[in-house]
């Protein structure tokens, strides 16, 4: 068996606790301490007690496995996690991801979402193909994850006991903060950040800000607008209130949008092309890839008219609408965008 697990670049391994429906199907899995690029000894030893034979798979485990695992995962947090799981009657699972391939199970999908939110991997750097078919629709309640088909009985039981079963959402993705709270962040409305979001240290997500899975900030940032799946924002950038960056899940777009460092996408603005560093889009202006842009030189003399997509990835651009002609102009940005240091000190 050791020959099937000899890859020194083993992707990830994690022990988790989850919820199943009455049919025995996984609804969700919580991995308190996933291990990214684990030491080979850990893979081999956990594999032996789980009868793991290689590849990407999961194994539901019992108290005997967890007791044995405490002798393998001896570091403080890992050891503490295992001891806590031994006391639980919920389903427990160990998930092995030997290589970064197409997703094959719900436990595997949840592990990759955890890796993103724990900042082990960055958006667009891992294979998430097949995730929607593997994440069941779940009623997220104050009693945990519930299969929507089983919700009525639980609501009725709660009412009969003089209680209310609170259903916060019905969705494939849960709140990130119910699974992972990264170091050094502020999230004003936790329901607006999905598990699988990558929230960089020093980032503030305000009440109306939204960050989807496989999207996020790569450093400090201010998010008051919406980051769709696949979108990344560089260190020191600010996404203003109701501003929006499109992803690739809807609308037919295929270009993955990234916003560079020290950029400002102003309130009610948006950008459908990748930007380099130190770029500004004025308030209320949405730059679509096919928009005609008048490019100006340093003295604001017209140079050429191009489609916005031809400016993709360039730095030091300021997009502004000429108040007289209505033409969208691209000027050279000479101002430094900076975040409020006191606001972003998240100690």
Catalytic residue among 28, 224, 261, 329: 224
Alpha helices (H) along the chain: 40-50, 63-69, 76-86, 106-117, 131-134, 151-160
CA distance 296 to 55: 55
In order of 90, 236, 276, 277, 318, the CA distances from 333 in angstroms are 56, 16, 12, 10, 5
Closest CA to 243 of 204, 274, 272, 217: 272
Closest CA to 98 of 25, 45, 33, 47: 47
Helices then strands (H, E): number in the chain? 6, 27
Catalytic: 224? yes
Q: Could you give the 3-state DSSP secondary structure of residue 154?
A: helix
CA distance 72 to 75: 9
Q: Tell me the catalytic residues.
A: 224
């Amino acid at each position: 068996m050791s020959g099937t697990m000899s890859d020194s670049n083993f992707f990830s391994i994690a022990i988790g606790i989850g919820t199943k429906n009455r049919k025995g199907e996984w609804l969700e899995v919580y991995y308190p301490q996933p291990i990214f690029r684990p030491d080979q000894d850990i893979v081999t030893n956990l594999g032996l007690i789980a009868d793991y034979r290689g590849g990407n798979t999961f194994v539901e485990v019992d108290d005997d496995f967890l007791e044995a695992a405490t002798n393998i995962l001896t570091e403080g947090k890992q050891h503490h996690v295992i001891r806590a799981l031994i006391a639980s009657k919920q389903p427990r699972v160990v998930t092995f991801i030997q290589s970064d391939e197409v997703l094959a199970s719900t436990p595997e999908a949840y592990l990759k979402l955890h890796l993103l939110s724990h900042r082990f991997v960055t958006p667009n750097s891992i294979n998430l193909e097949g995730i929607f078919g593997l994440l069941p629709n779940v009623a997220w309640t104050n009693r945990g994850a519930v299969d929507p088909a089983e919700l009525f009985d639980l609501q009725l039981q709660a009412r009969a006991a003089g209680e209310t079963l609170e259903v916060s959402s019905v969705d494939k993705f849960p709140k990130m903060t119910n699974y992972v709270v990264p170091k050094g962040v502020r999230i004003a409305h936790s329901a607006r950040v999905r598990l699988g979001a990558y929230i960089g240290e020093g980032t503030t997500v305000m009440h109306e800000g939204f960050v989807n899975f496989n999207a996020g900030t790569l450093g400090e940032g201010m998010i008051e607008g919406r980051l769709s799946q696949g979108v990344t924002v560089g260190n020191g950038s600010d996404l203003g209130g109701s501003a929006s960056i499109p992803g690739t899940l809807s609308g037919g777009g295929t270009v993955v949008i990234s916003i560079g460092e020290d950029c400002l996408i102003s309130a009610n603005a948006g950008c459908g092309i990748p930007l380099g560093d130190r770029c500004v889009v004025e308030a209320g202006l949405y730059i679509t890839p096919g928009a005609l842009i008048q490019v100006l030189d340093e003295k604001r003399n017209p140079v050429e008219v191009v489609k916005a997509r031809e400016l993709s990835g360039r730095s030091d651009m300021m997009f502004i609408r000429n108040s007289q002609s209505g033409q969208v102009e691209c000027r050279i940005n000479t101002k430094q965008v900076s975040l409020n240091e006191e606001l972003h000190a998240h100690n």
